[in-house]
Structure 1
Amino acid sequence: MNDNQLLRYSRHILLDDIGIEGQQRLLDAHVVIIGAGGLGSPAALYLASGGIGHITLVDDDTVDLTNLQRQVMHTNGRIGEPKVESGRAALLAINPDIEVTALRERAGPERLLELARTATVVLDCSDNFATRHAVNRACVAAGTPLVSGAVIRFDGQLAVFDARQPAAPCYACLFPEDTGFEDVACSTMGVFAPLVGVVGAVQAAEAMKLIMAIGEPLVGRLLMLDGKYMEWTAIGVARNPACPVCAARHGESGNTVD
């Protein structure tokens, strides 16, 4: 680190659990963020300000006026621009020393696997089950930790899935693809703006913890937030030995998708 970086990240470096070594791990890391909207915005802003050396934003949408109520990475002046380009401008305005890759695309399975293999951590900030399951399959196949978040109305949830740990569940263990979960869009049901900030910030914190190997990540736990009453609830989540996504990785029955 140069003198400017030592000054910029001094409040991190003062923490005994981080120090110069931990901050260097952040600078050396590559975080892929799927979705540059309500969750991706606060997560990306904190990761950029905290010193993640390379951030890749993946989203195929453009900035809309209705986004600005909660998607804090975007501005009124960037309405109509691709979200990833708007996000890239916002992140570099905070921290011009990092690398930000903007991918305007709806990544398919092969592309997601390619991205997961290059990432230190992947953040799922998408808004539908199909994408969440596709990202999960890619992260399991690549052995890359996944930090998943979701928010609708006044309710939020997040968890960490780490296929490197034999006892850790994957997203499909918690939400099997064949159980018929229905997507609920915030465009029809609404979403409380500060809640995406809370959950997105926690996603960033979990990603940094994973990168620096400090504390205990939310592996094997689902953290739920009731925003109306500001109550957090955590429930344990066990790995499904017959999970069709992650079982084969651990030498059990099931078919992992590569």
Structure 2
Amino acid sequence: MDNQTVYKIKDSVDLFLSDEKYLMAYYMNTRQRKSFKINKEMILLIEQIDGKHTVQELKDYMTVHHQSDNESVAFVLALMESNRLITDTKVKDNILSVEEHERYSRQINYFSEFLGSEEEGIYGQKKLMNAHVLIFGCGAIGGNIAMELVMAGVKNITLYDYDTVACSDVSRHMYFREEHIGEGKVAALKEELYKIDHSVEVYAIEESMNPYSDIEGYIKEADFVINTLDEPYIGYTSSKISRCCIQYNIPHYIAGGFDAHLASTGELIIPHVTPCVECYAGHFKETLKGWKPKEHPVRERYTEIGGLASMSLFSASFAAIEIIKYIAGLVNISEEYKVRGELLFTDLSLTYLNVMKNNNCPVCGGDGI
């Protein structure tokens, strides 16, 4: 431990005493609680950790005023640091600019509780800013994800869609306005993203997807891919995109929130770690074996299926959280990833499918964890 280090109590940690014997710590961001048996000298030391005194000054103060030895002070500080109660106030000043640090300060504070220190939180933020994200589909789900990722600091984003803004889109999309009606979705969304962050690089691709669409080049240029493209069919576009992502080992997210699956969460797919699209297809093939849907009397009902802006925003926000956790490295994704979930409108219950990675999957099997 460097004697010139200056510590402060972490902004996201509340400390309080219980019965003058226990130090209770509440981690506001992760909502964890810890308790530590404490004595009078430790209380006096903690009162001096104010973000101004160096370790050496803390040792000197405790020696002169309370007859504590340097080893005991160092032990307590190391214990508090390892339990993420305190953090070094000095961080590298060349990771982010002053403006960037100010803009994302509260987010960095949040990241640091998962990563251990403010400096690691800054590195997590930098990972977001360096990521190039490709989004297929700029509807209610894809557009909202794009908005949230740019707000979080993603600086390079590619949008892929061919559609135009319709009157009904204004009631379901958080970013389309009446003046956007008739305008291309990618152009309208690009305009809104620039309003959030004028420094963001947005690449617009006005194309539709079909069996002959060559999307490989776009995917190879991305660090992370998101599919929300529900035409001609979400299952088809997801399969086409996921197969290409698996081939190039690119993480991707198949978003939920469409048609019969309003407010579903979608699924994060990490090649050879999580179930892929084909694993999901195999799961449904097995669980729905023998079931045949009845023909619906309305043939063009895809234009009439209901929706609600808040439900779309739920799906998009859930996806954005998972994507940010992965890109910023906030969790051990091989253990913490979520499979697809369904939110019920009536009681807001959220249930997850029981989908396992298939090690015999023709696309991702054979070398999985």
- Taking a change above 3 Å as real, the CA distance of residues 228 and 187 of structure 1, as seen in their structure-2 partners, is farther
Instruction: Measure the CA separation in 1 of the matches of 2:263 and 2:108.
Output: 34
Instruction: Measure the CA separation in 1 of the matches of 2:282 and 2:184.
Output: 32
- Taking a change above 3 Å as real, the CA distance of residues 3 and 184 of structure 1, as seen in their structure-2 partners, is farther
Please tell me whether residue 80 in structure 1 is matched to residue 182 in structure 2: yes
- What is the deviation of 1:214? 1.1
Q: How does 1:123-202 map to 2 (within 5 A)?
A: 123-127=226-230, 128-151=234-257, 152=259, 154-165=262-273, 168-176=274-282, 179=285, 187-202=303-318
Letter in 1 for 2:106: R
Please tell me whether residue 32 in structure 1 is matched to residue 134 in structure 2: yes
Instruction: Measure the CA separation in 1 of the matches of 2:300 and 2:244.
Output: 24
Specify the structure having the higher radius of gyration (Cα): 2
Please tell me whether residue 207 in structure 1 is matched to residue 207 in structure 2: no
TM-score of the superposed pair, with normalisation by structure 2: 0.62
Q: Deviations over 1:30-75 (max 9, x none)?
A: 1111110010121111101110020111111111111111122221
Please tell me whether residue 104 in structure 1 is matched to residue 206 in structure 2: yes
Letter in 2 for 1:39: I
Deviates more, 1:230-239 or 1:198-207: 230-239
Letter in 1 for 2:352: A
Cα contact 1:113–1:142 (8 A) shared by 2: no
Q: Could you tell me which residue of structure 2 aligns to residue 89 of structure 1?
A: 191
Letter in 1 for 2:364: C
Q: How many residues align?
A: 248
- What is the deviation of 1:233? 1.0
Q: Deviations over 1:73-99 (max 9, x none)?
A: 221101111101111000110111211
Q: Could you tell me which residue of structure 2 aligns to residue 235 of structure 1?
A: 353
- What is the deviation of 1:110? 6.4
5+ residue gaps in structure 1?
Answer: 252-258
SS in 1 for 2:202: strand
- Taking a change above 3 Å as real, the CA distance of residues 207 and 53 of structure 1, as seen in their structure-2 partners, is same
- Taking a change above 3 Å as real, the CA distance of residues 146 and 193 of structure 1, as seen in their structure-2 partners, is same
Letter in 2 for 1:135: I
Cα contact 1:53–1:99 (8 A) shared by 2: yes
Instruction: Measure the CA separation in 1 of the matches of 2:158 and 2:300.
Output: 26
Q: Could you tell me which residue of structure 2 aligns to residue 8 of structure 1?
A: 103
- What is the deviation of 1:125? 1.4
- What is the deviation of 1:107? 4.3
Cα contact 2:167–2:178 (8 A) shared by 1: yes
SS in 1 for 2:330: coil
Cα contact 2:174–2:309 (8 A) shared by 1: no
Cα contact 1:220–1:236 (8 A) shared by 2: no
Q: Could you tell me which residue of structure 2 aligns to residue 122 of structure 1?
A: 225
Instruction: Measure the CA separation in 2 of the matches of 1:117 and 1:107.
Output: 17
5+ residue gaps in structure 2?
Answer: 1-95, 115-119, 286-291
Please tell me whether residue 244 in structure 1 is matched to residue 362 in structure 2: yes
Q: Could you tell me which residue of structure 2 aligns to residue 254 of structure 1?
A: none
Instruction: Measure the CA separation in 2 of the matches of 1:178 and 1:105.
Output: 30
Q: Could you tell me which residue of structure 2 aligns to residue 43 of structure 1?
A: 145
- Taking a change above 3 Å as real, the CA distance of residues 185 and 101 of structure 1, as seen in their structure-2 partners, is farther
Instruction: Measure the CA separation in 1 of the matches of 2:197 and 2:151.
Output: 6
Name the Cα RMSD after superposition. Answer: 2.7
Instruction: Measure the CA separation in 2 of the matches of 1:39 and 1:185.
Output: 20
- What is the deviation of 1:176? 4.4
Q: What is the aligned-residue identity percentage? A: 26
Instruction: Measure the CA separation in 2 of the matches of 1:206 and 1:220.
Output: 8
Instruction: Measure the CA separation in 2 of the matches of 1:78 and 1:30.
Output: 26
- Taking a change above 3 Å as real, the CA distance of residues 185 and 73 of structure 1, as seen in their structure-2 partners, is farther
